Structure 1
Amino acid sequence: MTSPLPVHAQPAAAALLDQSLGRLARSIAGATGVFDAHGLDFCCGGARTLRTAAASAGVDAAPIVDALQALQARVAANQEVDWATVPSDALIDHILVRYHAVHREQLPELLRLARKVEQVHGARADCPQGLAEHLAVMAQELESHMRKEELVLFPLIQRGQGAVAAAPITVMRMEHDDHGAALHELARLTDDFTPPRAACTTWRALYAGLRTLRADLIAHIHTENNILFERFAPAAVH
């Protein structure tokens, strides 16, 4: 039986409970991971509401709603702050939580979905063959990049040694260019993140997640290149 939700959360929770799994998977980045963790079929069962799907699966809907609301809140909170005015230590904390941690959540789930799409629909001419392999390479390169920032560059800045950070910043900017090229290839493989008309819910959720990844990674690179890095090693104007 589904546990009753707190009174203050009921209106927002009801709005989520009465939406279909397919719609939630498309509209909330990271929702597919939540559904998968709770054993909800958002692909073939994508037309069912969250309320119905949870009841049918015999799982408590409240933690699922909480997780979906947390995903929504994370996006909303990021839209309210002018990060150009935030001190460097706080900006680094924001980058670690909003981008590094989020990419580490996004990529394994997107890779899982891509492998499923290629496995199930590999015979179709419009199947994005090679997408999973490309995402795996992106994940490896992005993880290496973030670890360099976490172990080398960010500690330099946090110790007040930003004046000697020009060399690692140059390397990070070059790797950002590589990430940009990887995003262009991602768009090519997915027809600019446009699923075929007959695509299943998993396929559509994959492309919606990839669009979110692209937006997040672009914002991540912008926040570092144009805000944090400019404070210590301004880019040459050309």
Structure 2
Amino acid sequence: MEHTFTETSIIGEIVTKFPKASDLFKSYRIDFCCSGNRPLIEAIEENQLSAEEVLSNLNNLYKETSALQESSIQWEEASYQELIDYIINKHHQYLSEELPQLSPYVTKVFRVHGSSQPHLGVIHKLFNELRVELEQHLIKEETEDFPLILDIEKNPTEEKYAKLQEVINNLENEHSHAGDILKTLREITDDYTPPEGACGTYRLVYSRLEALESDMFEHIHLENNVLFPRAAASM
């Protein structure tokens, strides 16, 4: 039987065509956002997975859900304005609300349990590093970088294209660093598994950090693998 996706399929392109693949990739710890521009087989071998199993599960999932509409927006056809509005209204808005709301809970768990569980100090440090970087990142995207993309769409010039390439490189580097922090958080929390007998706040922090990771992966994917390549291709 001919498969829709193969070992040579590009990870980011798979998720663009089939967004639900992101759930499967997350279960295998396959990075589809910051490292989404490489063939699937590279991630399979890097994580020491069975290529047959991953491809079988991926293609079966695609077959089972192919009749369903995965998104109200067809990413490959959406305008820059539609993509940017979606990113801001869904992902930027989520981070703008969640980061300050989650922060006091991360601090509380560290204060109460940190003396006996030193890894909570690392979580506290990494979360606050991520928060500061993301808050600055979102402001810059909304006030400088996204307007540049929209301006180029209407009034392209060589000077603007040169600036855009620099912007994309910087944003992708920032995304990569955020992705590294998220990976470290997952590792030191044992896949966000609270210790036995953990209090409600402890469990809440782990649950919300995992939800933050999920949203960030989708967010970075849309920018790195959809918006930026399309903008760059127009240069």
What runs of 5+ residues in structure 1 fail to find an aligned partner? 1-77
Would the aligned equivalents of 2:119 and 2:188 in 1 still touch at CA under 8 Å? no
Would the aligned equivalents of 1:153 and 1:168 in 2 still touch at CA under 8 Å? yes
Please give the secondary structure, in 2, of the residue aligned with 1:156.
Answer: helix
Match of 1:111 among 77, 95, 103: 103
Match of 2:148 in 1: 156
**Distance in structure 2 (CA, Å) of the matches to 1:90 and 1:198:** 46
Q: Tell me the TM-score normalised to structure 1 length.
A: 0.61
Q: Tell me the TM-score normalised to structure 2 length.
A: 0.62
Match of 2:218 in 1: 219
Name the structure, 1 or 2, with higher relative contact order (CA <8 Å, separation 6+): 2
**Distance in structure 1 (CA, Å) of the matches to 2:81 and 2:147:** 10
**Distance in structure 1 (CA, Å) of the matches to 2:113 and 2:174:** 33
**CA offsets 1:165-188 (integer angstroms, 9 cap, x no match):** 222111111111111111112113
Match of 2:189 in 1: 190
Q: 1:1-238 to 2 correspondence within 5 Å?
A: 80-125=72-117, 128-159=120-151, 160=153, 161=155, 164=161, 165-233=164-232
Q: Which has the larger radius of gyration?
A: 1
Would the aligned equivalents of 2:105 and 2:205 in 1 still touch at CA under 8 Å? yes
Match of 1:48 in 2: none
Residue identity (%): 36
**Distance in structure 2 (CA, Å) of the matches to 1:181 and 1:220:** 15
**Distance in structure 1 (CA, Å) of the matches to 2:125 and 2:102:** 11
Match of 2:10 in 1: none
Q: 2:115 corresponds to which letter in structure 1?
A: A
Q: CA deviation at 1:90?
A: 1.2
Would the aligned equivalents of 1:122 and 1:129 in 2 still touch at CA under 8 Å? yes
Please give the secondary structure, in 2, of the residue aligned with 1:211.
Answer: helix
**CA offsets 1:50-78 (integer angstroms, 9 cap, x no match):** xxxxxxxxxxxxxxxxxxxxxxxxxxxx9
**Distance in structure 2 (CA, Å) of the matches to 1:79 and 1:112:** 34
Change (3 A) 1:205 1:80: farther
Q: CA deviation at 1:224?
A: 0.2
**CA offsets 1:188-211 (integer angstroms, 9 cap, x no match):** 332221111211111111111011
Would the aligned equivalents of 1:126 and 1:196 in 2 still touch at CA under 8 Å? no
**Distance in structure 2 (CA, Å) of the matches to 1:156 and 1:125:** 46
Q: 1:157 corresponds to which letter in structure 2?
A: I
**Distance in structure 2 (CA, Å) of the matches to 1:111 and 1:180:** 19
How many residue pairs match? The answer is 158
What runs of 5+ residues in structure 2 fail to find an aligned partner? 1-69
**Distance in structure 2 (CA, Å) of the matches to 1:203 and 1:138:** 19
